[in-house]
Amino acid sequence: MLSVTIVASFMSQRYHVQQTLIKSVERNIDGIEIENGLLDIERDFAYTNDGVYSIVFNKNGKIISGEYPDGVEKIDLSFDSGNVRKYKSGSVNYFVYDTLLKFNKFEYRIDSKTGEILSSEAEFSPTATDFQGDLDTKAKDSTLSLRDAFRLVLKETGLNENEVHLVTAQIHDYHYNNTVYEIEYLTDKSIYDDVWIRGVSASGSESNEWNAIVIVAVIFLPIFILMSSVIGTSIAKRAYKPIENLSLSVSRINTGDDLSERVTVEDSDPVLRQLEENCNLMLERLQQSFESEKQFTSDASHELRTPVTVILAECDYQLGRNDLDDESREALSDIREKALAMKELIQQLLYFARMEQGKALFDFAPNDLTELTDAVAGDIASIAQNSEKHIKIHTDLEKGIIFNMDAGLMARLIENLISNAVRYGNPDGNVWVKLSKDRNVITLSVKDDGIGISKEDAPKIWQRFYRADKARGSGDGCQGLGLPMVKQIAEMHGGHVTLESEEGKGSEFKVIFDVKE
Ligand code: ADP
């Protein structure tokens, strides 16, 4: 802005110099006339005025009067009326303005009695009025009429009546002398040689102009660019603020579990308001479909629980019969096994459904986590040790770690991790269960030297129903729900889970709780 102002003031200053030059020269036109046949430069002709030097030239370009500014010897510019031109002398730039002065208006005074021409003047006149009076008028005691006087004057200058335009013909009674006739006319005929008035004024030195440009370019332009970019950025920031708010709201909803949150743009722009409304509509529908999916899972699980229990009870009853043939027994055992897996699946889905309804349905209280871990690990250890794989479970549990938890949920978490470690362990392998507390952080680690998890599978195993090891059927109790449940239980207790694993070497799952004292 500043640089624009400087350039603008620089230009307006130039304009001002040129206007002064033109005015000074044109004002001087009135200061030159021909008096009784001789060129007369009057006293009010200003040779220097407002920095303008005025010089009078004859029609051949010779100086009649006036001089160039100091330091200028001559100006090699041909005369050109009415245009400001630039001229450089040394390191100084000048403006030059010429005007051609024609002597087109003549004024004569004639003795009304004798017809003697008393005086004559010629000057430049841009305009002419028409003669209005009566040429036949005579002064008192005169023999000559105004018309006679006019003819005398024309004869004197060698002009015809049709070569002139009469402006004035009047009688002047001066009392002390004879009455005088005054005749004024205009003519295009050249009676006297034209003269030129040339005005010269300094427009400022070249180096000053250059300096000004350099100052603008080097100092003010970068400042201007910087200021524009700062202002531009702040305007853009302000304009993007509502979008930023929207994006923050969306990412908050994304990272949190609360789909009932809504976005706000905090702006009155109708387009943004429409965007806000559409986003919230979308969230509304999303929330509804999640809710109904949750409801469906919960309802379906509840509905399936009774028939599965009946199937199991019927299987047990039939299997207890002594008269059953081998084929039927095998078929019934098969059904029972599948029904058991189904029961487990229903159980887990109901757990999820309950957990999604929040903490209120559970019994959170300070419990001994060490004891719970020990008990769960002990239960699995005896099964694992006696199974075909002979997996050994080693425990390293810090004593007396009390934690505010739902013991049922926490037992499931520990059981899921240890049983996975056993399930995906190698024959004669090991599982290490470690529980420790360091200041406000409780860490439960379940480590194995089993098959490990590939890098591709590692992020996916937390999704419901994802099973990296597809070879195993759901009949093994593998539903792909164990780890998602571990994650959800950990989060319900304010914790999080981590995994370090290498395919073929083993895995370590850690559950980390922050304890607020
Ligand atoms: P699943 O019922 O199939 O065990 P989980 O959710 O408990 O379901 O585990 C998901 C998948 O993660 C499993 O199918 C298995 O491929 C892999 N996984 C879980 N724990 C381990 C482990 N300790 N070692 C190797 N792979 C494991």
**Closest-lying ligand 1 atom to the alpha carbon of residue 480:** 8
Calculate Rg over the CA atoms of the chain. 57
**What's the gap in Å between 469 CA and the centre of ligand 1?**
7
The amino acid sitting at 498 is: T
Sequence-distant (6+) residues with CB within 8 A of 493 are: 403, 404, 405, 406, 409, 410, 513
Bridge partners, 352 (sequence order): none
The pLDDT of residue 215 is 65
Q: How many angstroms from the chain centroid is the CA of residue 299?
A: 53
How many Å lie between the centroid of ligand 1 and the Cα of residue 335?
25
- Beta carbons of 75 and 87 less than 8 angstroms apart: yes
Bridge partner list, 39:
34
Q: Decide if 379 contacts 411 (C-beta within 8 A).
A: no
**b/e burial code for range 324-348 (CB count within 10 A of at least 16 → b):** eeeeeeeebeebbeebbbbbebbeb
DSSP letter assigned to residue 172: E
Choose which residue among 432, 444, 469, 502 to substitute to test ligand 1 binding: the one with the highest number of ligand atoms within 8 A of its C-beta: 469
Give the DSSP letter of residue 29: G
- Smallest CA-to-CA distance from 159 within 205, 106, 121 is with 106
Phi then psi for residue 39, to 5 deg, are -65, 130
Q: Which residue has the tokens 């006019």?
A: 150
Q: Are 395 and 471 in contact (CB under 8 A)?
A: no
Q: Residue 200 in contact with residue 53, Cβ under 8 Å?
A: yes
Amino acid at 303: E
Give strand pairing partners of 98. Answer: 81, 198
Task: Count other Cβ atoms within 10 Å, centred on residue 309.
Answer: 13
Q: Which helix (H) or strand (E) holds 119?
A: strand 117-123
Q: How far is CA 450 from CA 67, 80, 351, 373, 387, in A?
A: 110, 104, 28, 21, 15
Separation of CA 467 and ligand 1 centre (Å)? 6
Q: Residue 174's beta-bridge partner residues?
A: none
- The helix (H) or strand (E) run that includes residue 387 is none
Tally Cβ neighbours within 10 Å of residue 381: 19
Give me the pLDDT at residue 255, please: 66
pTM value is 0.51
Q: Given the CA of residue 467, which atom of ligand 1 is nearest to it?
A: 14
pLDDT in tens, 165-177: 888 888 887 666 6
> What pLDDT shows up at residue 292?
78
- Residue 501's pLDDT is 96
Say if residues 123 and 103 touch (Cβ distance below 8 Å).
Answer: yes
- Give the integer Cα–Cα distance in Å for 219 and 3: 9
* CA nearest ligand 1 atom 17, residue: 468
Residue 493's φ and ψ, nearest 5 degrees, are -100, 15
Report the pocket of ligand 1 as residue ranges, CB < 6 Å.
416, 420-421, 424, 448, 450-453, 461, 466-469, 478-484, 507
In the β-sheet with 495-502, what is the strand arrangement from edge to edge?
392-397, 430-438, 441-448, 506-514, 495-502
Distance 437 CA to ligand 1 centre (A): 26
User: Which DSSP letter does residue 443 get?
Assistant: E
What is the tens place of the pLDDT at every residue in 371-391? 999 999 999 998 888 888 899
d(CA 108, CA 186): 12
Which of 445, 461, 497, 500 to mutate to test ligand 1, by most ligand atoms within 8 A of the CB atom?
Answer: 461
Q: Give the CA diameter of the chain.
A: 177
Question: Ligand 1 centre and the CA of 114: distance in Å?
Answer: 141
Two tokens, residue 401: 């770690």
Residue 421 CA to ligand 1 center (angstroms) comes to 8
What are the residue ranges of helices labelled H in 320-368?
A: 326-356
Residue with tokens 């290498």: 502
- The tokens describing 31, both together, are 């200061």
Among 187, 165, 166, 177, residue whose Cα is nearest residue 34: 187
CB 25 within 8 A of CB 124: no
Measured over the CA atoms of residue 285, residue 289, residue 294 and residue 300, the dihedral's sign is positive
The 8-class DSSP code of residue 432 comes to E
Take atom 7 of ligand 1 and give the residue whose Cα is closest.
482
pLDDT tens string, the chain, 517 residues long: the values are 555 565 566 667 778 888 888 998 888 888 888 888 888 888 888 899 888 999 999 888 888 889 888 888 888 888 988 889 988 888 788 899 999 888 888 888 888 888 888 888 888 888 778 888 888 888 887 888 888 888 888 888 888 888 888 888 888 876 666 788 888 898 888 888 888 999 998 875 444 555 566 666 677 778 878 888 888 888 877 777 777 777 777 777 776 667 777 877 777 778 778 888 888 888 888 888 877 777 787 788 778 888 888 898 999 988 988 998 989 899 999 999 888 888 888 888 888 888 877 777 889 999 999 999 999 999 999 888 888 889 999 999 999 999 999 999 999 999 999 999 999 999 999 999 999 999 999 999 999 999 999 999 999 999 988 888 765 544 566 788 999 999 999 999 999 999 999 999 999 999 999 987 6
If one residue of 349, 414, 420, 462 were mutated to test the ligand 1 pocket, choosing by the most ligand atoms within 8 A of its CB, it would be 420
Length of the chain in terms of residues written: 517
User: Under 8 Å CB-to-CB from 311, ≥6 apart: which residues?
Assistant: 335, 339
**How much distance in Å is there from the Cα of 462 to the middle of ligand 1?**
9
Residue found by looking up tokens 């970068």 in the block: 222
- Which candidate, 489, 492, 469, places its Cα nearest to that of 480? 469
